[in-house]
């Protein structure tokens, strides 16, 4: 027959924490209170490392993992010692219990792990976890966010990152919020480029500016910055400038999706301008250019014979439609360059297109001329795609997953909570949490 305290320690597994149970009680709020003492406390002074003399014990109250479905509070009797060493600046000190709980923490170390496992693995809400522990939602959320960020920054999450994706993401669709409703998303593209797995979310930081990205890169350390060889991004000049200043040896790639999107926007503007000039009103159902507004954005080889005939008829129905036809041809040539099976040939095709539209265009091609000037200024980043094969496609995919996550939650109001959920959802932290 085992002693009662040994049975209690076994059931509550308090030995894992380095404490033994000395008493227990339940209160009217359905909470279990467990009093315990530290097993083999270290009596050495943290300053002089010489053993001190026991003075008394101070109680520290910590929330522990639930027992039999009830919240648990540990009342740990922490020994306090007097340092008798002359000349030592420390007179009284407490025994080190960092193995039980972190300094100033209100929960035990194993409770932090339990919180992450319930949220990440069991998909429990923060409110449900807080109810199981008998503590506030805000406390649980802060603990989970801190633990997740520690795993990101100190747990090897950034190791091996060589290809980085950067993009902006709107986390809160509320009018009048300005940049506070935007975050900068950092994605590890290395597994995609190496063919070893999917991209993963590295971090999300508040704001979308040059300084925001610079501060993040500065805080990662020189070793991390030296390892980055390629950074893929959209056309935002702030990210480009920050990357050029902080990662001068990294190659910047302007994402093909955004290049084609920009060309498509200029095509639409050209179409609407010619529509107004020829018809005197916005597009209507039977207007030639309005009927082909979607066909213009489809690759020619994907069009049916009926769509091809409609495209030709609409573009040839008026002499002024030639501006739309030329802009459409450039748009299709850019797509063809990106889709060419030989990247070297694709790079040559893209360079020829950019060179042809950068200057010297005839009058009437205003949108195409503006497109040419914009893309020629970024030609190095555009052509870099053909050498590296790195794009922001996986970044857009993760952005889509985060949009879906926000929809499931019917929106988020707390940015820290949103970042936590995003990291657990797309940061591939589940395996690391299980191994805690």
Closest residue by Cα to residue 383 from 355, 413, 402, 406: 355
Of the residues 63, 84, 103, which one is the last residue of a structural domain? 103
Q: Does residue 395 lie within any of the structural domains? A: yes
Q: Does residue 154 lie within any of the structural domains? A: no
Query: What's the whole-model pTM score?
Result: 0.72
SS3 content of the chain, % helix, strand, coil (to 5): 50, 20, 30
Sign of CA dihedral 308, 314, 316, 322: negative
CATH number at residue 192: 3.30.420
Number of domains in the chain: 3
Q: Does residue 365 lie within any of the structural domains? A: yes
Q: Does residue 220 lie within any of the structural domains? A: yes
Angle, nearest 10°, between helix axes 393-408 and 256-279?
Answer: 80
User: In whole angstroms, what is the distance from residue 203 CA to residue 172 CA?
Assistant: 17
Residues 380 and 404 in one domain: no
Residues 260 and 234 in one domain: no
Residues 250 and 395 in one domain: yes
DSSP-derived 3-state class of residue 53: strand
Which residue has tokens 């540990």? 74
Q: Does residue 116 lie within any of the structural domains? A: no
Residue ranges making up the domain that contains 248: 163-255+391-434
Residues 71 and 215 in one domain: no
Per residue of the chain (436 residues), give pLDDT as tens.
345 567 777 778 888 888 999 999 988 888 999 999 999 999 999 999 999 999 999 999 999 999 888 999 999 999 999 999 888 999 999 999 998 998 889 999 999 989 988 887 887 888 899 999 999 998 998 888 888 777 776 657 788 899 999 998 888 777 666 667 888 999 999 999 888 888 988 888 888 899 999 999 998 888 889 999 999 998 888 999 999 999 999 999 998 999 999 999 999 999 999 999 999 998 888 899 999 999 999 999 999 999 999 999 999 999 999 999 999 999 999 999 999 999 999 999 999 999 999 988 998 999 999 999 999 999 999 999 999 989 888 888 888 888 887 776 667 778 887 887 788 778 777 767 765 5
Q: Does residue 424 lie within any of the structural domains? A: yes
Classify residue 127 as exposed, middle or buried by CB count within 10 Å of its CB (0-12, 13-18, 19+).
Answer: exposed
Q: Does residue 221 lie within any of the structural domains? A: yes
Residues 359 and 427 in one domain: no
Residues 213 and 272 in one domain: no
Of the residues 59, 78, 103, which one is the last residue of a structural domain? 103
Residues 374 and 408 in one domain: no
Residues 167 and 228 in one domain: yes
Classify residue 146 as exposed, middle or buried by CB count within 10 Å of its CB (0-12, 13-18, 19+).
Answer: middle
Residues 320 and 347 in one domain: yes
Q: Which two tokens stand for residue 188?
A: 């590890």
Cα angle, residue 139 at apex, residues 133 and 141 outer, rounded to 5°: 95
Q: Does residue 250 lie within any of the structural domains? A: yes
Residues 376 and 399 in one domain: no
Residues 249 and 395 in one domain: yes
CB of 395 within 8 A of CB of 187?
yes
Of the residues 81, 103, 125, which one is the last residue of a structural domain? 103
User: In whole angstroms, what is the distance from residue 374 CA to residue 301 CA?
Assistant: 28
Residues 98 and 23 in one domain: yes
Long-range pairs, 300-304, Cβ under 8 A, ≥24: 300/332
């Amino acid at each position: 027959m085992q002693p009662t305290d040994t049975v209690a320690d076994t059931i509550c597994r308090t030995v894992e924490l380095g404490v033994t149970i000395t008493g227990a009680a339940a209160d009217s709020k359905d909470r279990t209170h467990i009093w315990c003492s530290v097993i083999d406390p270290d009596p050495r002074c943290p300053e002089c490392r010489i053993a001190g003399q026991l003075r008394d014990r101070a109680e520290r109250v910590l929330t522990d993992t639930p027992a039999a479905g009830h919240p648990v509070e540990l009342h740990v009797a922490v020994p306090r010692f007097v340092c008798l060493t002359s000349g030592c600046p420390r007179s009284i000190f407490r025994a080190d219990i960092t193995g039980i709980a972190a300094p100033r923490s209100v929960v035990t170390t194993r409770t932090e792990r339990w919180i992450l496992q319930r949220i990440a693995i069991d998909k429990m809400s923060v409110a449900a976890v807080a109810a199981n522990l008998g503590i506030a939602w805000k406390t649980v959320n802060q603990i989970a966010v801190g633990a997740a960020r520690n795993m990101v920054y100190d747990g090897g999450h950034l190791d091996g990152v060589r290809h980085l994706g950067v993009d902006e993401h709107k986390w809160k669709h509320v009018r009048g919020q300005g940049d506070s409703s935007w975050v900068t998303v950092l994605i590890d593209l290395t597994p995609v480029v190496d063919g070893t797995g999917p991209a993963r979310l590295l971090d999300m930081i508040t704001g979308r500016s040059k300084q925001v990205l610079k501060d993040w890169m500065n805080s990662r350390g020189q070793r991390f910055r030296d390892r980055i060889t390629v950074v893929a991004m959209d056309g935002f000049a702030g990210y480009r400038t920050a990357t050029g200043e902080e990662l001068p040896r990294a190659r910047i790639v302007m994402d093909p999706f955004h290049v084609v999107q920009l060309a498509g926007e200029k095509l639409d503007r050209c179409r609407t301008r010619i529509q107004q000039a020829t018809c005197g009103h916005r597009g209507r159902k039977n207007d030639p250019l309005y009927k082909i507004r979607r066909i213009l954005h489809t690759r020619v080889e994907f069009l049916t014979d009926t769509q091809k005939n409609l495209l030709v008829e609409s573009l040839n129905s008026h002499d002024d439609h030639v501006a739309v036809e030329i802009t459409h041809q450039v748009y299709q040539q850019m797509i063809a360059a990106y889709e060419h099976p030989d990247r070297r040939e694709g790079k040559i095709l893209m360079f020829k297109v950019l060179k042809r539209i950068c200057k010297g265009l005839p009058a009437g091609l205003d949108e195409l001329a503006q497109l040419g000037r914009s893309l020629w200024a970024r030609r190095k980043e555009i052509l870099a795609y053909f050498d590296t094969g790195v794009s922001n496609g996986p970044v857009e995919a993760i952005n889509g997953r985060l949009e879906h996550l926000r929809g499931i939650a019917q929106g988020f109001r707390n940015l820290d909570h949103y970042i936590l959920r995003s990291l657990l959802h797309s940061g591939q932290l589940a395996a690391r949490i299980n191994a805690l």
